Amino acid sequence: MIAEKTVIRIALVSALTFSFAAAQAQRPVLDSASHSAAKPAAVAYLYPEQITVPAGKPTTIALHFRIAPGLHINSHTPREDELIPTVFSIPEGSGVRLEGAVYPPGADFSLPLDPKTKLSVYTGEFIIQTRIVVSSGEHLVEARLHYQACDNNACMPPKTITAAIDVIGK
C-alpha cells in the first residue's frame, strides 16, 4: 500500500512537471528589454489622424501634441542660440506641402539651479497651427516634430517623432 501511494505520487509529480514544461515551451521568449517597463515618449502626437481638405487650396490644420509630465521642451523660439527649437516639418514628395506653421508662444520657465535665467518652453499640451496645400487624392503623411525634452536636472538627446496623418485632397 505504501509502495502504491509512492508510485501514485511519483506519477503525479511527473505529470505536473511535464505539464509545466509544456506550458513553458509555449510561452514566447522575451529579451531583457521586454522585461523592463516601457518608457513613455517625451512628446506624443495626439490628433487629427485623418483630414479631408480642398485639393490645391491652402488650409489651416491644428495639430495637437502632449509633453509627458515633469518634462518641458524648448519653444519654437528659444531665448538662447545653443538651445534646440521645436520644429514641425512635412517631407517633400508626400503630396502635402507645408506653407507655414504658427507655433504657440513659449511659457517662461526657470531651472531651480538658475532661477534668474528664463527659458521659453512648452509643457503639457500644445497646438501648432499649420497651413498646408494638398494635391488631389489620399496621402499618408509622416510629418515630423523635432524637439529636445528636458527635466529640471538634464536634457535628453534631441529627437524627431512622426505625426502620421491621412490627408485626403478633394
The C-alpha atoms of residue 21 and residue 41 are separated, in whole angstroms, by 37
- The phi, psi pair for 32, rounded to 5°, reads -65, -30
Beta bridge mates, 61 = 130
Q: What is the pLDDT of residues 147-159, one digit of tens each?
A: 999 999 999 999 9
Q: Whole-model pTM?
A: 0.75
At residue 132, does pLDDT exceed 50? yes
CA angle, residues 96, 161, 168, in degrees to nearest 5: 25
pLDDT of residue 19: 36
At residue 32, does pLDDT exceed 70? no
At residue 101, does pLDDT exceed 80? yes
Q: What is the pLDDT of residues 56-65, one digit of tens each?
A: 999 999 999 9
CB 139 within 8 A of CB 167: yes
Task: Work out the pLDDT band at 37, boundaries 50, 70, 90.
Answer: low
Q: Beta-strand (E) ranges in 1-155? A: 43-47, 50-53, 59-67, 72-74, 87-89, 96-102, 107-111, 114-122, 125-134, 137-147, 149-150
Q: Would you mind telling me the total number of residues written for the chain in this entry?
A: 170
pLDDT of residue 21: 36
Q: Are strands 72-74 and 114-122 parallel, antiparallel or unpaired?
A: antiparallel
Residue type, 156: M
Residues sharing a CB contact under 8 Å with residue 161, sequence separation 6 or more, in sequence order: 41, 43, 44, 45, 144, 145, 147
**Chain mean pLDDT for the chain:** 82
At residue 35, does pLDDT exceed 80? no
pLDDT of residue 39: 63
The C-alpha atoms of residue 123 and residue 70 are separated, in whole angstroms, by 8
pLDDT of residue 136: 96
The C-alpha atoms of residue 145 and residue 58 are separated, in whole angstroms, by 21
